[in-house]
Structures are given as C-alpha cells and as structure tokens.
Chains A and B, each alone.
Chain A
C-alpha cells in the first residue's frame, strides 16, 4: 500500500515537473470552454446578428410591410445601402450589386423582392434568395426568420394566396360557391358572419391584406390566426443560466479526460524508455503495484482535471455544477474509470510511445465525433447513431447531460454509469491479459 502511494507520488512529481502536460491538462480545456462559452452567449452578451442585404424592387403594400418587419427582426441586421468604390454617397442595393456582394463573400445572403413580387394575379410571393452556404446555420436562420415574419405579420396572405390557387384550378364560379358553402358552415357552427368570411376570401383588394396587421382583433384575422396554434412550453433547462455551455460541457469534459488520461497511462512507455520502469521492477516493487499506482494516479488526475474544468465553467459562465454535485461526481468517476481503461488498453496493445500516441489520437477524435462530444448525436443519421452507442463517449456525454442539464436524480444515471463501469471493467481485463504477454514489462 505504502509502495503504491509512493509510486503515485512519483507520478504526481513527474506530472508537475512537466509544464506542457500541466498546461494541456488544465489550461487548454479552460481556453476552449471560454471560446465555446462565448459562442453560446455564456457571458450574457447577446448573440450577434446575421447580416443580410434586402433589395425591395416591388412596390406593393405587402412588400413594404414585410420590409418593415424584417427591419425589426431580432436575429437579422438588414443592409439596404452600400458605398460604391469611388462614390461618397451610399447607394441603394440593386439585385446585381447584391449578388456580387454575396459572391465575393462580403455578406452571407441577400433577399430580393423583385418587381413581380406580388402582382394582381400572383398565386405566390416571389422572393429571390441568394446565399453562400459557407455557413448553413446562418442560411437557416435567415430562411426561418423570413418564413416566421410572413406567417406572423401577414397571416391573411396565406389563405388569400390559397384562394387564388383555387381559382386557377377550378375557376372563379366554383371557388365562389365553395367559399359560400364553407361560409355557411362556419356561420352555423362557429358564429362567424358568412358574408365577411366569403369577402375576406375572395376580396381582390390587396391593400386590405396589410391593414389586418394593424387591426389584429378583426374576426377574420383571429379566425385565420387560430388555424394553427402552438402552445409551447419549455420543460427542461428553463432555469439553466447557460444552456448552451451546460449542454456541451460534458462532451468536452469526456474528450479532455480521454486525452489526458491516455497520455498519463502511456507514460509507462516513457518510463520503459528511460529505463526507470526496469529499475522500479528491480526494487521492492512488483508489476501489479505499478499498474495499480497508474490507475490511481490517472483516475485522480482525471477527477481533478474535471473538477477544475467544472468550477471554471461555474465561475465564469454560470454553469450550475453544485445543485447535483453528488451525481455529477459519480458520473465524473465513472467517466474517468472508462477513460483510464481506454488508456491502459492503448498502452497494452501499442509497441512504442509513438504508436500509442498515434492510435489514441485517432480513436479519441473518432469517438468524440461519433459519440456526441462535438454535436448532439440526434443530428446524425440513424446508422451513425447506432454506432455512437458503442463508444464510451456517448454514454458519458448522455450521463453528463442527465446530471447537468436535466438535473436528473441518481436513478436516472444508473444505466449510463453501469455501462461506463462495465466498459472500464472489460477493457481493463483485456488490457491486463495483454500486459501479461506484452512488451511493456
């Protein structure tokens, strides 16, 4: 026991003397947490707006109201003018200039409402959307925002356009008849005056389309507004002060664990190279004591590393690590155990330190990508989600989500913890067999 303790102390002394290792173990994770914490708005600053050019060449009330609404959209910053190269006065964007701006990467997207955006006979709104897919998230934000603006700001437009479609297909008379009978039904059962409904459907006066926005309480408007009704309530993470980081910190944690603990385990190779492993084995120290000390040392290193990481996330980004502390600790220990076993496996199968480093870096990166350290696995295709489940990263990430994000009780993490510990046990057993026949000792 004393011997194992002395061996652990030896590893700690060596670790502390190795400044780059200390840096990699503690500082690099912190830096990355700062970067990601800031991306997810952790420090409380609002997320940046997406810049977008808007060219309105149409002169209809609908386009004008959309323009006004987009102007005030929360996640977009609308740009309409530009400064020509040799001019001093800024000019309004034209479609051609806007396209050039997107093509040369000066802006990520442009929305054009052309002259025929909405005419007397249009059965659809005609937008032109130019974008550079270098950032898909940006494109989706823009498109989503556009749709949302149309749906919420000019809700009557939709049935109106549907009506025009109907006329295109079945002719004026049949459409009018359909509207009449629908109006009748509505009047009977919903107490909506049939006339006003029919009128609102068939009215060709487009100026009224926009007025309804100001007059939100009009019966028809409410009627249409009620066709689709979302009642959304956030059930999880409502009180979480930094949702983005809280969700992702577990993924980073297990990745750092894998890297640092594999490094610590493969230090057996360094000791072999330096000859100190042999010297130890010629002293009153045996092989299993050396292995035990490596386990204890790497486990403790992992726990300390994650402790520092979590306290840092809490201090600077308000990630709540304390209200579920005992369960968090259980997950940390189980994850560290799994990571250590992975490191031991690598150490026992590799023949040299370089081999060990190469293999472990590759496997850790793949496991982190597939197991959900970087992106939620729910984004993956089904077959890949199936593969995720054989990585220890997946079970660790899920367990961290449970305790940090859902603030789940111990019972909820039992399966994950058991799976991680089983991973650890089986891999270790295999590594031990390999050590017996291997080249390390």
Chain B
C-alpha cells in the first residue's frame, strides 16, 4: 500500500537518507527502529510531502506522492514528533481548526471530534486549554488531531517521547485498536521494546540506511545467539567483569551487563559452569531471548542508546 522506493536525501553535506526502500502492506503495523539522527523523521517528512527527496519516489496504492500533494495528504494522518498544537487554545478549538482544514463538514466534524476524544480519553477535558495539559495528554491530543479525517495510513513519529508509562500504555492500546480496525501504521521509535511489542514487521535504520528488515522473529533468527545473558551489577560482580569478558561480547548497562556468549559457550550448562568457577551466584544471572537491541548491536557494533 505504501511503497518507499530508493529515497535519498542530503542536507548540505549530511546524508540523511541513503537509498531507503520499504514496502508497507495494507493493514500492517510497521516499525521503523533507529537511534537519534538515523533519519526517521526525515523519511516521514518526505512521505507526507513536506520535504522533497533528492532521488526516489513514494507511492500510495501505486500513485506517486508529489511534493505538496494536497489530495494525497487526505489519505494520510501524520503525528509529528514534536507536539504541534495551539497551546493557547482549547483541545476542542484545536480539533475544530485542524478538522476544518481537512475539509470536514460541520456535522461530520462534530461527530468525528467526539469519536477521537473518546478514543484518546480526553472527552472531559475538551474545553481546557492545551497549555494546561500534562505531557501525556498533549501527546494524546497530538495523535487525536491526526485521526480526524479517518486516514487509511497513519504515520506516527515517536508518539511516546516524554510520556509517563500510563499514557504510553493508553497510546499503545489506541494504536493497536486502530490497527485492528484496518489502519496501516508506520511507527518510528528508538525504543526497541515498543517496536517489539507493537509491530508485526519492522526495519532498522541507522545513519540513513536500512540495515535490516523483517518480522521480529526474522531479525532475531539472523543472530548466532538467540539468547543473551544478563548479569546483575552488584558490588560482588563488578570486579569479575574482566573474566566475564572472556566468555563473549559484553555490553554494560546501568544496572546489568549483557553477555552475548561465544559460540563454544552457547550451551547453558557450559556457561553456568563458567559462572560457578567465577563464583558468581545464579541469583545474579538471567537468561533471556535476544532482543532487537542485540540485532542492532550485532549489525552495527553499537548499542541503540548510544
């Protein structure tokens, strides 16, 4: 349904997107995972026709989207990464203003406003000024505005940034519901947990290049080790880190080390034997399946959060 063909975009000397191609099917919940500055927003801007690509085309249902293609924008809902609302106006006024610009008639707009407010659970706050909203409420309204014209495709650019866990979950539920009702969603994030939880298929972007794509299982199956071992950081384990390093690739996080064991250590029994000799109690060890984080690490040698 949404095809991104060989898109390239350069700002001055910075290559923001290099030969990006994606094919998003109707009804998919497609994730685009990448660290800061990877080019996610730039791609969104090109899809919506806000920016012009240097090379490449975007098609929706095999129709090419041109720069400033106003008709095409009626089919697409775009949730900008930054809150884009009139803060001095009420939620309702915002919805009216933007809804009218989508060409909705008065009655249609009214019922649509009720519907989206219900969806984002802001019905009882609709008369309040947006500037008095919490961060999570603003995010939800930011999303609601993009749903007014009932778009077939929804582009969500990091819609959960700076949101408390409760609002975040509410947004997840909303998006899942919308996807179940048949909307095609392209969702960018730099949280691998979000991509894992929400997306049926995903691509990882880094420095403007798509480095891999597929279902979550596809991506994890690319890895040699499908499991990782987390060792809790404690006073006790901290001095052992050098020895742990010998067992495989270790990444340090705030509260734990993550070990991707070498091939020869991939058996649980072998690895636990090693820990035993290092005198690390099993209470500090957790074995989990590999995550997108590991996929990213494997492909780039860096952590997503760097």
A9 to B99, CA, bound (A): 13
Q: Is A274 a contact partner of B85 (Cβ separation < 8 A)?
A: yes
Q: Is B87 a contact partner of A282 (Cβ separation < 8 A)?
A: no
Q: Is B74 a contact partner of A274 (Cβ separation < 8 A)?
A: no
Min CB distance B242 to A, Å, is 49
A281 to B49, CA, bound (A): 9
B78 within 8 A of A: yes
Q: Is A278 a contact partner of B84 (Cβ separation < 8 A)?
A: yes
A275 to B50, CA, bound (A): 13
A363 within 8 A of B: no
Give the residues in chain B near A14, CB-CB below 8 Å: 86, 88-89
Give the residues in chain A near B97, CB-CB below 8 Å: 6, 9-10, 13
Q: Is A282 a contact partner of B80 (Cβ separation < 8 A)?
A: yes
Give chain A's interface residue range (CB within 8 Å of chain B).
20 to 34
A14 to B88, CA, bound (A): 8
Partner-binding segment picked from A55-63, A249-257, A284-292, A405-413: A284-292
B260 within 8 A of A: no
A279 within 8 A of B: yes
Knowing A13-B89, A14-B88, A286-B68 touch, does A279 contact B98 (C-beta < 8 A)? Answer: yes
**Inter-chain residue pair count (beta carbon < 8 A):** 69
A-facing mask of B46-64, CB < 8 A → 1, else 0?
0011100000000000000
Name A283's closest neighbour in chain B (CB-CB): B101
Classify the secondary structure of B's interface with A: loop
Classify the secondary structure of A's interface with B: helix
Give the residues in chain B near A426, CB-CB below 8 Å: none
Q: Is B84 a contact partner of A274 (Cβ separation < 8 A)?
A: yes
Min CB distance B113 to A, Å, is 15
B-facing mask of A287-316, CB < 8 A → 1, else 0?
100000000000000000000000000000
Knowing A2-B103, A17-B89, A279-B145 touch, does A284 contact B74 (C-beta < 8 A)? Answer: yes
Q: Is B102 a contact partner of A284 (Cβ separation < 8 A)?
A: yes
B70 within 8 A of A: yes
Knowing A14-B88, A285-B101 touch, does A278 contact B70 (C-beta < 8 A)? Answer: no
Q: Which one of B68, B71, B86 contacts A274 once the chains associate, using CB atoms below 8 Å?
A: B86
Give the residues in chain A near B83, CB-CB below 8 Å: 275
Most buried by B among A2, A279, A284, A286: A279
Give the residues in chain A near B70, CB-CB below 8 Å: 284-286
B-facing mask of A47-79, CB < 8 A → 1, else 0?
000000000000000000000000000000000
Please list 8 pairs of residues, one from A and one from B, whose beta carbons are closer than 8 Å in the complex, sorted by A's number.
A2-B103, A13-B93, A276-B84, A276-B85, A278-B50, A282-B80, A284-B73, A286-B70
A residues touching B (Cβ–Cβ < 8 Å)? 2-3, 6-7, 9-10, 13-14, 17-18, 274-276, 278-287
Given contacts A3-B103, A276-B85, A282-B80, 7 further A-B contacts (CB under 8 A): A6-B97, A274-B85, A274-B87, A279-B84, A279-B85, A283-B98, A284-B70
B residues touching A (Cβ–Cβ < 8 Å)? 45, 48-50, 68, 70-71, 73-74, 78, 80, 82-89, 93, 97-98, 100-103, 145
Q: Which 4 A-B pairs have the closest CB atoms?
A: A275-B84, A279-B84, A284-B70, A6-B100
